[in-house]
């Protein structure tokens, strides 16, 4: 996998690239990095050109600014697309990556042939959710990123499921490389994001929804409220999954995602 970087006006941008064919951008979620897509990429790279960004901005001594938002991250994705000369492509975003996808689709819909929301939502945070994120920022500030991820990552999976333990351990190990300032930057951006259900209504091309029935981060009922909004919805419910279908139901996830990518021009 080729390591790439861009020196942009908003800071250094890092991403990886692999495969050939139809261009697909895979955006990771909160508490993750681009390696969350490694297993998926190893299968998809035979058919597709994959772009896997790292969602962080190294700006200033604290590595974050309050004004960084999903719109800023969307501009990062545009910079990558411009660098790679992608006139049209598909974005698949997991969780926070879906928020970035929606921000990009709002501003640059003409650049997309389709997009996918994997355990993500077009709704803004509720007041309760914003308060929970603020508490997370306080916890990270006091205790660091590793301690926070140790408490949060297990809750993204189906509880008491033995087969999920290796994936949880792997995410926790990789999480040691995610700085507190990056997590805080992401949390601030999530708090500030607006409702983007209008994007779902207005986008004329296919939109993929992957939904976990046991997802606590993006509740099932919440997810179902947005599925009927697009003109072309591809809705897939994972019955034995919480928030991490690419790790909890790997084969089904690959089958659903690859089928959507093949079918979207």
pLDDT of residue 188: 95
Q: What are phi and psi of 76, to 5 degrees?
A: -60, -45
Band the pLDDT of 60: cuts 50, 70, 90: low
Other CB atoms within 10 Å distance of the CB of residue 132? 13
Q: Which of 97, 126, 89 is nearest to 205 (CA)?
A: 89
The arrangement of strands across the sheet holding 22-27 comes to 2-8, 11-18, 48-53, 22-27, 89-94, 112-118, 207-212, 233-238
Task: Give the count of domains, the chain.
Answer: 1
Report the distance separating Cα 27 and Cα 24, nearest Å: 10
CATH classification of the domain holding 226: 3.40.50.1820
List the domain range (segments joined by +) for residue 100: 2-263
pTM for the full predicted model: 0.96
Report the distance separating Cα 96 and Cα 117, nearest Å: 9
Chain segment 126-162, per-residue pLDDT in tens: 999 999 999 999 999 999 999 999 999 999 999 989 9
The b/e string for 47-81 (b: 16+ C-beta within 10 A; e otherwise) is ebbbbbbbbbbebeeebbeeebbbbbbbbbbbbbb
| Cα distances (Å, whole numbers) of residue 89 to 114, 115, 264 | 7, 9, 10
pLDDT of residue 64: 44
Chain segment 19-48, per-residue pLDDT in tens: 999 999 999 999 999 999 999 999 999 999
pLDDT of residue 8: 86
Chain segment 180-224, per-residue pLDDT in tens: 999 999 999 999 999 999 999 999 999 999 999 999 999 999 899
pLDDT of residue 264: 87
Whether residue 63 is predicted with pLDDT greater than 50 in this model: the reply is no
């Amino acid at each position: 996998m080729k390591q790439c970087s861009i020196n942009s006006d908003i800071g250094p941008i890092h991403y990886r690239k692999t495969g050939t064919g139809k261009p697909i951008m895979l955006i990771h979620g909160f508490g993750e990095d681009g390696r969350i897509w490694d297993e998926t990429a190893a299968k998809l790279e035979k058919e597709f050109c994959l772009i896997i960004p790292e969602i962080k901005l190294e700006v200033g001594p604290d590595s974050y600014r309050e004004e960084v938002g999903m719109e800023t991250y969307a501009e990062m994705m545009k910079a990558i697309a411009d660098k790679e000369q992608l006139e049209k492509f598909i974005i698949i975003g997991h969780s926070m990556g879906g928020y970035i996808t929606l921000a990009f689709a709002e501003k640059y819909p003409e650049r997309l042939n389709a997009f996918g929301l994997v355990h993500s939502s077009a709704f803004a945070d509720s007041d309760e959710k914003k308060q929970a994120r603020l508490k997370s920022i306080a916890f990270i500030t006091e205790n660091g990123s590793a301690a926070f991820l140790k408490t949060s990552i297990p809750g993204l999976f189906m509880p008491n499921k033995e087969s999920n333990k290796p994936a949880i351990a792997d995410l926790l190990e990789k999480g040691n490389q995610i700085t507190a300032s990056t997590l805080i930057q992401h949390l601030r951006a999530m708090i500030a994001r607006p409702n983007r259900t209008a994007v779902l209504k207005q986008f004329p091309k296919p939109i993929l929804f992957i939904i976990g029935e046991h997802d606590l981060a993006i509740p099932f009922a919440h997810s179902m409220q947005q599925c009927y909004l697009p003109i072309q919805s591809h809705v897939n419910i994972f019955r034995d999954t919480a928030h991490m279908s690419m790790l909890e139901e790997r084969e089904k996830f690959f089958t659903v995602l690859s089928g959507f990518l093949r079918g979207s021009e």
